[in-house]
Structure 1
Amino acid sequence: MLTHTLGAVGAALSMSLSWPQVYKSCIQRRTTGLSATASALGAAMPLGWITYGTLSGQRIQIVTNVVTGAAGLAILVALLATQPALRNPRALRLSATAFGAVLTTVALSGLAAALPGVRAGQVAPMLGLALAAVSVLSNIPQPLALLRDRTQDLSGLSPLRWRMGAGACASWLVYGLGTAQPAVWASAAAGLTAAVIVCAVLHLRREPTPEFATPRWRDGITTRTLAMTGI
């Protein structure tokens, strides 16, 4: 019962976690700090998990990843629209290769499942392991980009998205262990590690709040007024 509850929690968080970043990227048009490769994989990986859920008969995977895939695609489009430098062929090569690799894996799995005498349940574990391996790799670009360039503008990253991501991955980790699905818990472990690193970086590099932004009262006068009068 607890395992399935954690699966539901993980699904709810997974479906919600990308929308703070969608708001920041698509509405506010702030995308600085986002990794193009990580964003491309964020749009492609849900397609893999939808296929995995279809082959294994897990509706929770299908529903969750339809929502996360739509959010990931919106973020990727916003990133490419707001940063023209990422649209040149040389810059697109790595992200396009990563996106294409996932789609190729999905296509091959679908073809294998369609072969005579092959059951979908036989293909699902192999696809899951492939997706778990890609998940480990897909969780490297964003933390690596933040750690390599310690002076870059991080205003385009949503801290809430990564905090929710840590919670979602922790839930999926326990769910995967409880249901004996190596693909799920391995992928979740990689995601949790990446989310914790990004959260730590965003916390350590957050800009200090100016004193005048939160006035304090003393004898009916704000400290801002005291500073302006030289008191």
Structure 2
Amino acid sequence: MPQSFLPVGNIVQSTAPIGLPQRTDYEGKFIRLSPVNPQTDIKELYECSHGSDIKAQIWTYMSYGPFDDEHSMHKWLEEKAKSEDPLFFTVHHLESKQHVGMVSFLNIVSDMRRLELGHIWYSPDSQRSNVNTEAIYLMLCEAFDRLRYRRVEWKCDALNEKSRAAALRLGFKFEGIFRQHIIVKGRNRDTAWYSMLDSEWTAIKKNMEIWLYQNPDQQLSLTALNKSK
């Protein structure tokens, strides 16, 4: 069959490589994302993620943690503070003035205009709150609005129901399961893949802003808003 008759993808208007996420502060109404600083961050990050069975669950699906002691976590933070990909941030809750978790940009492929959000964890008190929603909102604004990336990915252990539910709630679309994808802490991990495209972002951004900033009692459901887009 002549090549001209074979199906091909749409033309991408600009294929020039673009910028990378910046190692800088991203501030919203409720939280601020700051580049990891081991000296200032370690005490609160360790305390909010260690010391009880509930806190230990933070690390169940991560490839690292929990740490034997604060010193061990400090050494780990020093390594992460130097990393460009993943690019790590500490999540600072503005009202309580506490460090409550971490997030990162990773698998950054600027010439293909895609990246992933991952290494996401929060203290138990910050889960199921506006913290994660605004953190992801700020990161998506960076990826789609400033950098003009085409695709943002979210990946997690297929057994991690909380992360999978969060991805859907935030507007990511399920793409499939990579079976026997990696080995984590000596155990098999099947990986669930989710994505969001630049063409979907405008509607999702509007819904996030409604939920975050026009929904003081959180009576509205972000899941429902995104399903109606």
**Normalised by the size of structure 1, how large is the TM-score?**
0.31
Structure having the higher strand fraction is: 2
- The higher relative CO (CA closer than 8 Å, separation ≥ 6) is in 1
Structure having the higher helix fraction is: 1
